[in-house]
């Protein structure tokens, strides 16, 4: 009985243990399934986000959201009455108005080295403002660059990266520079940045001015009485410490100095010798020298340009010291594009509340920025592809469609450069247009943006044609011309009747949707707004089109936060007049301000990875030439072209129906056709490494824009120029024009043409220019050498090419680096023509056409004598240039110099 009971007990315990094990196993399985479900839910559900950040308050000192400045006092928006020195109008009336009208509008910048950070920042601001400048390494005891030319100053402003290099110039250079500045009304800007070797206190050599360095400062203020203030609006920067403890302040009792920026010291021990109230005193960190000491006006900075307010004052200093010759107007036009409307994955799109916020912010911004309107870019295929809540957001956007401006993307948001057939591309656009018409979206704005800027630049001609045929597009924008970085180089251009404006980034991209997850932290976004990159974009560009995305207006609504904060910050600290224009009048305004940008400068797409990624795969840079024959005309370039074409590894461009063997791309209206048009003149090479393609256009040589254009597209190309006696070249051109029935050549002798004076007819003077101008060889070669290295340029002796072409061709082959070809066997002399021709079967000569090698009367002795004198100095300059380049002198040049020297 006891045994049976024990057995039952053991059986019961075993069952219970088994059940316990099963229970534990079930709990483990349940936990794992719960964790998996939770992970799936978290990863696939919208984030529970904090409330969107609030934009900056009105001029409350510019602190980040939710941070108090600790300021008391009032005025609208919490702005305080600044504490400054009383105005001294009597003294300011003594200041002479800046008059540097006898100078060229160029800034001379003395830098410590080509790599110095401050020097690069100075140059960046000048470039962003499109001001011309020249940099020089600051002289010690070296020579000062030439400051005058023909009784005009070469520079309207002098900037020293290190003001000590200015005050410590040797006596000769300092006296030379000061006399120049005083006589031509040229001002000086200088920076002093303390380092470990700087004295704590010192007098600036030659000035009644003391410097106190290695200071920590706080509570920056702007002196409203400083005469240079123009863009800068006096206000008070946020309370607190300025970055770093290497600040310098200026002290002087001389009336010539007016503080611009002032601050208090942080430490009670820093300036104890100033007296018991020194902590409450304001010390000048940027001062303006009114010129009452020595007649030269200056602005001196007690630090570099790292602090944003220094950049603002620096821009004002440039404007003031140049009499506003180097100065932008106060008008700033901004347009905010919102790309990818209806595009975006679930959880990132706009909901009804986001659209309401968009409308609310737009209405607030209209009060601050006249005509402010968000510009929405749409791809209709993705309408109603979000969550139910996001689809209702789509509907609300369309309900308020007339409150916004609209522009088309592609229907399916595809990149246009992927479409090689213009008809297929146009059909994609028609789908988007039908969607717009069905939903009442305006279709007459004349503006479009391509997804990822594809096809705008580098130009995909099919895109421009389709845009015009479907939408009637007249304006677009891109961040890619000429390159994405640096942003200050972005410019506009016009192609195929469409105006292309530069587009700016603002730090908001498709993935930047949460304030506290902003790359680098939210402080990086605030820094950009409060004096950083975004603020500088508005400061230095009269017109800014900003790229944003749909996702920037959902979630934390960073687009609304950014632009409301930016507008308020700009209006707090500057006198800039912000306004918005629709794209068409905005483009008109842009090219009124920058008419020089109407003509594009085509770059090589293969030299920029971003450009290559948005360039058609059917196109290849291998179709671009490896060398150019640039002319000049009537020197034997056609003969050289024919000789080179005999080489089995060298291929010439296809002939043009209008200009025969010449394309004339870089020198005239053909350039506006774009590089697709240009590349169509060249075949696909069979072997990229060994095939050498080239083109010959003899008017490239003396066309002013040709070297810059050629170097932009073909920076590695080699250049061949054929030179003969410029007198013979002029006479040959005259005879060429007579053969082509030019009335000016038919009705005037050659001597009358080359000696014609200003009262002569326009046609006669035009013929004279074409006779004489190309022969000033050194002038034109120097222009080409601004864009090409000397090693890329070969000067061909045209006289030797005519008499011994095989010898010349040997040298050209070595210069080009092609495999040798026997021109002695390939060429034969034709007695009838009087020059060398191609040898064909049977030893016969195949020569150039009838227009080549014409016989005409000898030039008159009086004309030759006149031209010998006319070209004497030009030939001497050519001699100096060729000697500098280490190139041999053409035989005709030696003879001409000997004969003119003898005479």
Active centre residues (catalytic): 634
E strand or H helix that includes residue 17: helix 2-44
Which residues does 596 contact at the CB level (< 8 Å), separation at least 6?
none
CA dihedral 604, 607, 611, 613 (to 10 degrees): 130
- Contact (Cβ atoms closer than 8 angstroms) between residue 589 and residue 381: no
Tell me if residue 503 falls in helix, strand or coil: strand
In 186-234, the DSSP E strands lie at: 187-191, 201-203, 210-215, 217-222
- The three-state DSSP-derived secondary structure of 270-336 is CCHHHCCCCCCCCEEEEEEECCCCCCCCEEEECCCCCCHHHHHHHHHHHHHHCCCCCCCCCEEEEEE
- The C-alpha angle 551, 556, 558, rounded to 5 degrees, equals 70
Tokens 């200041």 sit at which residue?
95
> What are the backbone angles phi and psi of residue 573, rounded to the nearest 5°?
-110, -5
Tokens 């000033």 sit at which residue?
776
**Per-position b or e across 338-352, b if 16+ CB within 10 A of its CB:** bbbbbbbeebbbbbb
- Contact (Cβ atoms closer than 8 angstroms) between residue 694 and residue 774: no
Q: Rounded to an integer, what distance in angstroms lies between the CA atom of residue 136 and that of residue 114?
A: 9
Which residues does 132 contact at the CB level (< 8 Å), separation at least 6?
104, 105, 106, 107
Tell me if residue 519 falls in helix, strand or coil: coil
User: Would you state the structure tokens that stand for residue 750, as one six-digit string?
Assistant: 């050659």
- Contact (Cβ atoms closer than 8 angstroms) between residue 351 and residue 392: yes
Q: Rounded to an integer, what distance in angstroms lies between the CA atom of residue 349 and that of residue 303?
A: 46
User: Would you state the structure tokens that stand for residue 692, as one six-digit string?
Assistant: 């050498």
Say how many residues make up the chain: 903
- Contact (Cβ atoms closer than 8 angstroms) between residue 298 and residue 306: no
What is the distance of C-alpha 299 from the center of its chain?
Answer: 28
CA dihedral 11, 14, 19, 22 (to 10 degrees): -140
User: Would you state the structure tokens that stand for residue 882, as one six-digit string?
Assistant: 């060729």
**Per-position b or e across 138-155, b if 16+ CB within 10 A of its CB:** bbeeeebeebeeeeebbb
Tokens 């009455």 sit at which residue?
81
User: Sign (positive/negative) of CA torsion 481, 483, 485, 491?
Assistant: negative
CA dihedral 694, 696, 699, 705 (to 10 degrees): -10
User: Sign (positive/negative) of CA torsion 118, 123, 124, 125?
Assistant: positive
Q: Rounded to an integer, what distance in angstroms lies between the CA atom of residue 235 and that of residue 221?
A: 7
Which residues does 359 contact at the CB level (< 8 Å), separation at least 6?
400, 403
Which residues does 791 contact at the CB level (< 8 Å), separation at least 6?
none
Q: Rounded to an integer, what distance in angstroms lies between the CA atom of residue 231 and that of residue 213?
A: 28
- Contact (Cβ atoms closer than 8 angstroms) between residue 646 and residue 638: no
**Per-position b or e across 587-603, b if 16+ CB within 10 A of its CB:** bebbbebeeebeebbbb
Which residues does 338 contact at the CB level (< 8 Å), separation at least 6?
374, 375, 376, 377, 548, 549, 550, 552, 553, 559
> What are the backbone angles phi and psi of residue 847, rounded to the nearest 5°?
-105, 170
């Amino acid at each position: 009985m006891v045994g049976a009971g024990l057995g039952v007990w053991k059986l019961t315990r075993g069952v219970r243990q088994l059940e316990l094990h099963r229970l534990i196993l079930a709990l483990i399985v349940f936990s794992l399934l719960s964790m998996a479900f939770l992970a799936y839910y978290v990863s696939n559900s919208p984030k529970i986000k904090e409330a969107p950040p609030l934009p900056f308050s009105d001029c409350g000192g510019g602190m980040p959201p939710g941070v108090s400045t600790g300021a008391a006092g009032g005025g609208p928006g919490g702005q305080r009455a600044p504490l400054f020195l009383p105005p001294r109008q009597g003294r300011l009336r003594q200041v002479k108005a800046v008059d540097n009208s006898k100078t060229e509008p160029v800034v001379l910048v003395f830098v410590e080295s080509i790599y110095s950070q401050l020097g690069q920042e100075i140059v960046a601001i000048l470039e962003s403002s499109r001001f011309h400048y020249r940099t020089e390494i600051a002289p010690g005891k070296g020579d000062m660059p030439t400051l005058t030319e023909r009784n005009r100053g070469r520079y309207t402003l002098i900037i020293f990266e290190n003001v000590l290099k200015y005050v410590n110039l040797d006596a000769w250079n300092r006296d030379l520079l000061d006399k120049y500045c005083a006589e031509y009304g040229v001002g000086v800007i200088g920076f002093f940045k303390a380092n470990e070797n700087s004295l704590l206190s010192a007098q600036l050599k030659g000035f009644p001015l003391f410097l106190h360095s290695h200071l920590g400062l706080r509570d920056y203020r702007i002196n409203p009485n400083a005469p240079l203030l123009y863009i800068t609006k006096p206000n008070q920067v946020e309370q607190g410490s300025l970055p770093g403890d290497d600040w310098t302040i200026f002290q002087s009792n001389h009336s010539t100095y007016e503080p611009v920026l002032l601050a208090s010291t942080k430490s009670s021990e820093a300036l104890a010798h100033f007296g018991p109230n020194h902590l409450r005193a304001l010390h000048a960190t940027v001062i303006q020298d009114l010129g009452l000491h020595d007649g030269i006006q200056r602005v001196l900075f007690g630090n570099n340009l790292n602090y944003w307010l220094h950049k603002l004052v620096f821009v004002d200093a440039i404007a003031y010291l140049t009499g506003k010759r180097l100065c932008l107007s106060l008008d700033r036009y901004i347009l905010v594009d919102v790309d990818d409307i209806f595009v975006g994955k679930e959880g990132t799109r706009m909901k009804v509340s986001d659209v309401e916020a968009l409308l609310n912010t737009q209405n607030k911004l209209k009060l601050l920025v006249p005509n402010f309107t968000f510009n929405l870019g749409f791809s209709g295929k993705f309408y109603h592809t979000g969550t139910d809540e996001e689809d209702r957001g789509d509907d609300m956007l369309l309900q308020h469609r007339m409150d916004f401006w609209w522009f088309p993307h592609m229907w399916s948001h595809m990149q246009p450069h992927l479409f090689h057939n213009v008809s297929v591309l146009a059909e994609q656009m028609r789908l988007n247009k039908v969607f717009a018409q069905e939903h009442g979206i305006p279709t007459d704005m004349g503006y479009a943006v391509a997804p990822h800027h594809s096809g705008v630049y580098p130009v995909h001609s099919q895109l421009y044609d389709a845009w015009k045929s479907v939408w009637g597009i007249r304006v677009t924008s891109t961040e890619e011309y000429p390159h994405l970085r640096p942003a200050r180089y972005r410019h506009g251009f016009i192609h195929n009747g469409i105006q292309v404006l530069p587009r700016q980034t603002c730090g908001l991209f498709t993935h930047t949707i949460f304030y506290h997850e902003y790359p680098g932290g939210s402080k990086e976004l605030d820094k950009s707004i409060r004096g950083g990159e975004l603020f500088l974009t508005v400061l230095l560009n009269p017109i800014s089109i900003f790229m944003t995305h749909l996702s920037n207006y959902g979630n934390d609504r960073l687009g609304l936060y950014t632009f409301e904060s930016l507008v308020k910050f700009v209006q707090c600290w500057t006198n800039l007049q912000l306004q918005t224009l629709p794209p068409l009048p905005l483009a008109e305004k842009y090219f009124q301000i920058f008419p020089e940008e109407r003509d594009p400068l085509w770059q090589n797409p293969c030299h920029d990875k971003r450009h290559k990624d948005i360039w058609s795969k059917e196109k290849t840079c291998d179709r671009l030439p490896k060398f150019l024959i640039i002319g000049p005309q009537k020197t034997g370039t056609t003969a050289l072209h024919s000789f080179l074409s005999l080489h089995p590894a060298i291929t010439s461009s296809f002939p043009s129906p209008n200009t025969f063997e010449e394309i004339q791309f870089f020198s005239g209206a053909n350039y506006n056709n774009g590089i697709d048009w240009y590349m169509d003149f060249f075949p696909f090479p069979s072997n990229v490494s060994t095939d050498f393609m080239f083109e010959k256009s003899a008017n490239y040589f003396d066309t002013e824009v040709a070297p810059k254009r050629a170097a932009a597209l073909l920076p590695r190309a080699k250049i061949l120029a054929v030179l003969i006696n410029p007198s013979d070249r002029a006479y040959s051109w005259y005879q060429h024009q007579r053969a082509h029935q030019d009335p000016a050549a038919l009705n005037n002798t050659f001597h009358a043409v080359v000696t014609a004076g200003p009262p002569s007819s326009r046609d006669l003077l035009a013929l004279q220019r074409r006779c004489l101008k190309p022969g000033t060889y050194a002038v034109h070669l120097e222009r080409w050498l601004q864009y090409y290295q000397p090693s890329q340029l070969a000067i061909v002796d045209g006289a030797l090419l005519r008499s011994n072409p095989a010898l010349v061709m040997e040298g050209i082959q070595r210069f080009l680096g092609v495999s040798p070809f026997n021109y002695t066997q390939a060429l034969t002399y034709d007695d009838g023509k009087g020059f060398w021709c191609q040898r064909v079967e049977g030893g016969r000569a195949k020569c150039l056409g009838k227009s080549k090698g014409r016989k005409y009367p000898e030039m008159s002795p009086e004309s030759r004598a006149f031209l010998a004198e006319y070209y004497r100095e030009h030939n001497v300059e050519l001699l100096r240039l060729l000697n500098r380049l280490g190139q041999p002198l053409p035989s005709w040049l030696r003879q001409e110099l000997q004969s003119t020297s003898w005479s």
